Amino acid sequence: MVLKVGDNTPDFTLQSNEGKKVSLKNYRGRRVVLYFYPKDGTPGCIQEAGRFRDLAEEFGRDNAVIVGVSMDSVESHKKFKKDDDLPFALLSDLEASVIKKYGAWGRKDLYGKHTMGVVRTIFLIDEEGKIKGIYKDVKPEEHAEKCLLDLKKPGFKQAGAVRNAPDSWTEW
């Protein structure tokens, strides 16, 4: 099943960088920026997490919590969070079950090499657990700001958007 704007988010429970089990349903009543990323400590992921870190206070003012998910271990997440001073939870999906459920697993082409792995994907989720925006194949240096702008749009709870490529939007 492919998730779409307007769908209820599938719940999940994963282990956080603190070693605690975290469920998506625990965030009901808050907006959630759920972002899937390839690997702790890599240049693109450092840049992506850094942009979310730099805007975390502003997301908080909009009743939003940021949650990152990758296939890295809890220990790797602890180090990444500490090294880059990240103020949000990083969840470990070692089996990629949640990553696949959310459609963030796919073919990646890098320097002419084709592999399967985590594709940068972000879901904007409203207070009731409905998907309001999906961003796919995003650029790490710019999408945090776009997520924040979408959260601030009037009628956020009534409208959503799918971002399939850097400059193409589909309003739903």
pLDDT band at 161 (very low <50, low <70, confident <90, very high): very low
pLDDT 10s digits, 78-119:
999 999 999 999 999 999 999 999 999 998 887 888 999 999
DSSP-assigned beta bridge partners for residue 131: 125
138 in a structural domain: yes
- Please give the positions annotated as active site: 45
Burial 130-162 (b: 16+ CB within 10 A, else e): ebbbbbbebebeebbebbbebbeeeebeeebbb
Output the pTM of the full model: 0.88
Gap between the Cα atoms of 145 and 134, Å rounded = 14
Gap between the Cα atoms of 54 and 56, Å rounded = 6
127 in a structural domain: yes
Cα–Cα distances (Å) from 80 to 76, 126, 135, in that order, read 6, 27, 23
Kindly report the CATH number assigned to the domain that includes residue 80. 3.40.30.10
The domain tally of the chain equals: 1
Q: Which domain holds residue 31?
A: 13-167
Supply the pLDDT for residue 4: 94
